[in-house]
Chain A
């Protein structure tokens, strides 16, 4: 038996390769990270993507612009409405259609509700990654009313497909405004609980502070956007710097931190929830009267050329690139998904930290795997 134990000089210095995933509870999906370890310290990480690659970009080449929208739901399913909006804005801008103010307001309200729901789910999952099972139920509890609002107006809880080029599928439900207002007052009371439960918690602080630091230069060069990028001081909020829909009419702060460690990525998201509530409050009472959609031709043909539209999804900048040859479907569709770029920086963040810290780093990036693979 003793012969089997390998001993000798240099054995401690060798790299040890460990696979995290594709079936691992803290990767939140089928993500495979090939980790080279030295002892317990992470040397480098190689993400292996493509486990749920569905070829959405290729499928878009044979779908009309109306049909394309329902596929964008299925990339980042937690910011489904925002992804829809990106395609709709692209088509509207390419055809130079001005949508009614009412549509812009409703879209922005639904965007922010999506962002709240997404951050709540992330918050509870992040707590659970670090061992705090309680947070999971608190986050889901507060997410439920938002899903009910979606269900009442759009008909679906998660994958809404509510945007169409030129406006919306339906007008908002008569209860919509009342319910959103109720939710804002409800959630303003509940959001401080998040800080009491988790933010101040000594275990979370110890496990996330100074873990997975990402400098501003690295964030920019790796294209880390969204709250993860803003935690490193990268002012990349598309809503602020290139406003679309009704974002130019609202007043909100861009949450910026400088350190870029896991705790600041966490805190950026929690503070963003307050800002989302602020945006909702400014818009919900002022939805102008008007049509909910512009009459569009049944077959949309974009003029020949290249188009790009970006929006701020829950995890960062989401971009749609379309090359049109004047046909009723795109010649080439490309999606710039925030999670793919955010994941690419994980090597920079996690190198030199312990393997247990990798869970905290991955959780603070808020990865959604279908968005990476598309």
Chain B
């Protein structure tokens, strides 16, 4: 007799626990507003990443096609995976002096681990992280990017207060 009572106890106890769980899922079934699924990629236009999001390294240029990079290579030295290559050239100025200038700023997106050290160590704040995150391409060569735009030059140094986002 005891065995039967125990069996029934276990049976109904088990069903009760299942119903407890079902009540939770049932609540969300009748409350569709509690669902938080994002409809990506349909919401691409309204999707906004956070300001600090580490998408990819970019070099901002102003309206005169000028950047702030002095080709000091500090970012290249500090990069743990060698994803930055700073190629500089010697340019002769009007007064006869030669000066080092940025030729090509090569950025290997395929090797980057987004640790953010390059941006932290840059003394000129010449590079920043952009918010783009869709990096898929068909050809791997497209992941090697040149960050300085063609024909760009170095911006004259203006003292600015470093702004922390």
Contacts and interface: CB of A to CB of B under 8 A. Distances in A.
A253 B129 CA distance: 41
A155 B54 contact: yes
Interface stretch (B108-116, B134-142, B153-161): B108-116
Interface string A55-74: 00000000100110111001
A366 B158 CA distance: 53
A267 interface: no
Contacts of A170: 52, 164-165
A151 B54 CA distance: 9
Given A67-B117, A196-B24, A202 B18 contact: yes
Given A66-B117, A156-B114, A196-B20, A202 B50 contact: no
Given A156-B114, A196-B23, A201-B17, A171 B52 contact: no
A58 to B, nearest CB: 14
Contacts of B53: 151, 155-156
A40 interface: no
A173 B165 CA distance: 8
Given A134-B25, A152-B52, A161 B116 contact: yes
Contacts of A164: 120
A218 to B, nearest CB: 31
A70 B113 CA distance: 8
Of B20, B49, B114, B115, most A-chain CB atoms within 10 Å: B115
B61 to A, nearest CB: 22
A197 B80 contact: no
A202 B17 contact: yes
A18 interface: no
B21 interface: yes
Interface string B10-45: 000110011011011100000000001000000000
Contact of B80 (A67, A153, A196): A67
Interface in B114-132: 114-117, 120-121, 129
A215 B113 CA distance: 41
Nearest to A70: B115
Nearest to B131: A155
Nearest to A144: B36
A10 interface: no
Given A201-B21, A202-B18, A151 B116 contact: no
A200 interface: yes
Contacts of A134: 21, 25
B78 interface: yes
Interface in A172-206: 173, 193, 196-198, 200-202, 205
A161 B115 contact: yes
A69 B116 CA distance: 11
B125 to A, nearest CB: 14
Given A151-B50, A170-B52, A67 B120 contact: no
Nearest to A141: B36
Contacts of A197: 21, 24-25
Nearest to A194: B24
Contacts of A141: 36
Contact of B50 (A74, A155, A205): A155
A169 interface: yes
Contact of A154 (B20, B52, B113, B165): B52
A159 interface: yes
A74 B23 CA distance: 39
Contact of B114 (A66, A159, A201): A159
A154 B18 CA distance: 41
Contacts of B20: 196, 200
Of B18, B23, B50, most A-chain CB atoms within 10 Å: B50
A159 B54 CA distance: 11
Given A63-B80, A71-B80, A169-B120, A155 B17 contact: no
B109 to A, nearest CB: 15
B103 to A, nearest CB: 25
15 contacts: A66-B117, A67-B117, A70-B115, A74-B113, A151-B50, A151-B53, A155-B116, A155-B129, A161-B115, A164-B120, A169-B120, A173-B52, A196-B23, A197-B25, A201-B21
Interface of B: 13-14, 17-18, 20-21, 23-25, 36, 49-50, 52-54, 78, 80, 113-117, 120-121, 129, 164-165
Interface of A: 63, 66-67, 69-71, 74, 134, 141, 144, 148, 151-156, 159, 161, 164, 169-171, 173, 193, 196-198, 200-202, 205, 298
Q: 9 closest Cβ contacts across the A-B interface? A: A70-B115, A202-B14, A67-B80, A155-B52, A155-B54, A161-B115, A152-B50, A202-B17, A197-B21
